[in-house]
Amino acid sequence: MIEKNFSNRTYRKHQEKLFELVRMPIVTEKTVQEAIRYMCEIVADMLTVDTVSIWHFDTSYQSISCQVAYSHESGTHYPALTVHREHASDYFEALQTERVLTFEDVRSHPFVKDLYTEYFVEGQRIHSMLDAPIYANNRAKGVICCETFLPRMWNYLEELIVSTLADFIAILYFRLDRQLVDEHLHQLAYTDELTGLMNKYAFVDEIDSLRLHTKDFLGAVLYIRADDFRSIEDAIGSEASDLIVKEMASRLRKVVDESRMARTSQSGFVIWIPYGERRKVHTLAEHLCEQVTRLPYRINELDVVLTTSAFISIEIEGRSTLDMIHTTRVVAGQSNGKRGVIAFFEEEMAQEASDRLRLEMNLRLGVLSEQFELYYQPKVIADSGKLKGFEGLMRWNHPERGLVPPLDFIPLAESTGIIIDLEEWAFVTACRQLKQWHNRGDRYELALNLSARHFLSEGVVEKFAQIAREEGICTSYMTLEITESVGMENQQHVIDRFIAFREEGFSISIDDFGTGFSAFVYLKHYPIHEIKIDRQFIQVTENDPTGNVIVESIVDLARGLNLKTVCEGVETLEQWEALRGLGCDEMQGYYFSRPLPLGELEGWITDYTAQTRDA
């Protein structure tokens, strides 16, 4: 019995060792294994039993396997024993619900009688057994099992000791689980899951520390990314695109120490370069881009060819690593969609980025505050000069800057997506004005510009048709002007969109014709109604005979395709007469009128109509 064989001195010695194990500063799987091995020896000594073993459940609780065992005869050993739930379901249930399980005769107890011949550490020699489940994080993690060769009547003190020792082991398991969770959270917080590289936060910590200890030289941060990767993702899908990103990381690892590299965007990586001499950094950037793009990416039997760009920020004193990453993104933002760029951050770029952000914020505020106004430029019939209609043009009346030129805000509105809200506002405004003119008997037509982003967006046809119906406008009086370059974006998609607009009654005009792709060939495939000849061809009609030839060719082409032609930028009577002689159908320009706000336009209409009638 324990009372006869166990001294207070031995108990205190083991107690001190147990507390030392529980309080050990670093808990790892290895130290826990060492601790439970020693626990087995302590339990065997304290309870005077023949064998002690510790078992673990699998994650599904369908089996339990021996981790370590100790006996006075064999010492520490590691039996390859596993018990499955199906062979002892009652025993498994008891292990997950009871504090202590006592078996005075394992040969007859219904929970374990079918197990002892094969699954006990000492097999058929075992007669009595005392088990204490090990609970960690409110669930049974395993069990500590004490076995004797001779019959044993387990008393309360022995049950208390073994359950207490199970709690000591549970504390170790709890600490190990908590540490593993902390390590996992740390990994999630500091590791890019897709590539296994550092993420931005880990990179910043690592490079900040490196820079702190290497102040005797300057370095640089390089940001390398695949060009227009979103289009690739749209074409092949996210999963296939992820494979490309992983392969990009693999190729970069071959030439860059991954402790100096992180993934920070969809297809973008930042790299610390331990020198700041521009020529050397530029050479390395070229090498990295070549390494990434030299071979195609074989994805699902498809060879994907990438181009990459690199953006560089040279270290300066006082600029943090995070700021250096930011400045590389500033350079990237000013690359204007170009491919194969290698560019350095210059100080003035920060001011340009700040001005751009301020303008964007003002632009969004301007939309909400109704700071925009629609101006109207007249369009006249070439032969008679009779007023045919107008082109509606957006103007931004900024409360501090005054009238902001369209070239200052339209590109920004397009790149940020604000253009969609602006063009929907313009369309509603134009419909309402057109309704007023029609109600008074003036059957004017009205044209509006539609950006490529808006034209290609989902639902735009249905949205515009719904607005026209709600405002009571016949869509045949509305023309949507699309830039020539849109036609090359995605030809079938563009054709489908043109057809959809036509089916709703809208007219489609190709704006700035002749300046983009000289797309004479694709005109016959597109269901459009007119082409608008760019002003640069109009300006040379007086002084350069070739200008007349170009305009005449476009007009003849349009007539052959049954398309109307509109000449913009007409500034003189001579231009009007020359274009009229070449067969142009309609025209607009400063010779007739600049774009006017509605308040001035009505007066102009009255005066011009009277002049035309008198003429």
Which residue is associated with the tokens 């690592």?
206
- Average pLDDT in the 2-18 region? 56
Strand 261-263 relative to strand 268-273: parallel, antiparallel, unpaired? antiparallel
Residue 12 has pLDDT above 70, yes or no: no
pLDDT at 9: 58
- Average pLDDT in the 177-183 region? 67
Which two structure tokens, joined as six digits, stand for 356? Answer: 């751009």
Q: How many CB atoms sit inside 10 A of residue 136's CB?
A: 19
Residue 308 has pLDDT above 70, yes or no: yes
Q: How far is CA 430 from the centre of its chain?
A: 37
Cα–Cα distances in angstroms (integers) from residue 268 to residues 220, 224, 237, 309, in the given order = 16, 6, 18, 10
Residue 172 has pLDDT above 90, yes or no: no
Q: Give which of 320, 219, 334 is closest to 278, Cα–Cα.
A: 219
Sorting pLDDT into bands at 50, 70 and 90, what band is 190?
confident
Q: Give which of 95, 88, 93, 84 is closest to 109, Cα–Cα.
A: 88
Q: Give which of 197, 192, 299 is closest to 238, Cα–Cα.
A: 299
Residue 361 has pLDDT above 90, yes or no: no
| CA distance linking residue 315 with residue 329, whole number of Å | 15
pLDDT at 290: 94
Burial 60-82 (b: 16+ CB within 10 A, else e): eeebbebbbbbbeeeeeeebebe
- Whole-number percent of the chain with pLDDT over 90: 37
CA angle 292, 294, 295 (to 5 degrees): 100
Sorting pLDDT into bands at 50, 70 and 90, what band is 540?
low
Mean pLDDT of the chain, nearest integer: 84
- Whole-number percent of the chain with pLDDT over 70: 87
| CA distance linking residue 48 with residue 71, whole number of Å | 10
| CA distance linking residue 32 with residue 169, whole number of Å | 9
Q: Give which of 295, 352, 323 is closest to 223, Cα–Cα.
A: 323
Max CA distance (Å), the chain: 132
Please compute, for residue 262, the number of CA atoms within 13 A of its CA located in the half-sphere on the CB side: 22
Q: Would you say the C-alpha torsion 159, 160, 164, 170 has a positive or negative sign?
A: positive
What is the DSSP track for 562-586? T-EEEE----SHHHHHHHHHHT--E
pLDDT at 148: 92
- Between 224 and 399, the more confident residue is 224
Strand 220-226 relative to strand 308-314: parallel, antiparallel, unpaired? antiparallel
Cα–Cα distances in angstroms (integers) from residue 524 to residues 52, 503, 563, in the given order = 89, 18, 10
- Average pLDDT in the 71-86 region? 88
pLDDT at 488: 53
| CA distance linking residue 419 with residue 413, whole number of Å | 5
Cβ atoms of 159 and 66 within 8 Å: the answer is no
- Average pLDDT in the 508-534 region? 73
- Average pLDDT in the 563-568 region? 91
How far separated are the first and last CA of the chain, in Å rounded?
Answer: 129
| CA distance linking residue 320 with residue 184, whole number of Å | 28
Sorting pLDDT into bands at 50, 70 and 90, what band is 556?
confident
pLDDT at 35: 78
Residue 276 has pLDDT above 90, yes or no: no
Residue 606 has pLDDT above 60, yes or no: yes
pLDDT at 605: 93
pLDDT per position as a tens digit, 371-411: 899 999 999 999 999 999 999 999 988 888 888 888 888 88
- For 532, phi then psi, to 5°, come to -110, 115
pLDDT per position as a tens digit, 454-496: 988 889 999 999 999 999 999 999 999 988 666 555 567 788 8
- Average pLDDT in the 490-518 region? 79
Among 8-22, 217-231, 420-434, 460-474, where is mean pLDDT lowest? 8-22
Q: Tell me the one-letter amino acid at 589.
A: G
pLDDT per position as a tens digit, 574-605: 889 888 988 999 999 999 999 999 999 999 99
- Between 347 and 258, the more confident residue is 258
| CA distance linking residue 17 with residue 524, whole number of Å | 91
pLDDT at 33: 79
- Between 259 and 19, the more confident residue is 259
Strand, helix or coil for residue 449: strand
Contacting residues for 155 by C-beta, under 8 A, at least 6 apart:
1, 2
- Between 406 and 440, the more confident residue is 440
- Between 552 and 359, the more confident residue is 552
pLDDT at 558: 84
pLDDT at 15: 61
pLDDT at 263: 93
| CA distance linking residue 422 with residue 369, whole number of Å | 12
Residue 34 has pLDDT above 90, yes or no: no
Q: Give which of 370, 451, 379, 374 is closest to 410, Cα–Cα.
A: 451
Beta strands in 418-540 (DSSP E): 445-449, 478-483, 507-513, 530-533
Residue 115 has pLDDT above 70, yes or no: yes
pLDDT at 428: 95
Secondary structure element (H or E) that encloses residue 189, with its range: helix 156-190
pLDDT at 517: 47
Percentage helix, strand, coil for the chain under 3-state DSSP, each rounded to 5: 50, 20, 30
- Average pLDDT in the 238-254 region? 93
Cβ atoms of 401 and 409 within 8 Å: the answer is no
Which two structure tokens, joined as six digits, stand for 545? Answer: 């005979």
Sorting pLDDT into bands at 50, 70 and 90, what band is 533?
confident
pLDDT at 4: 43
pLDDT at 585: 94
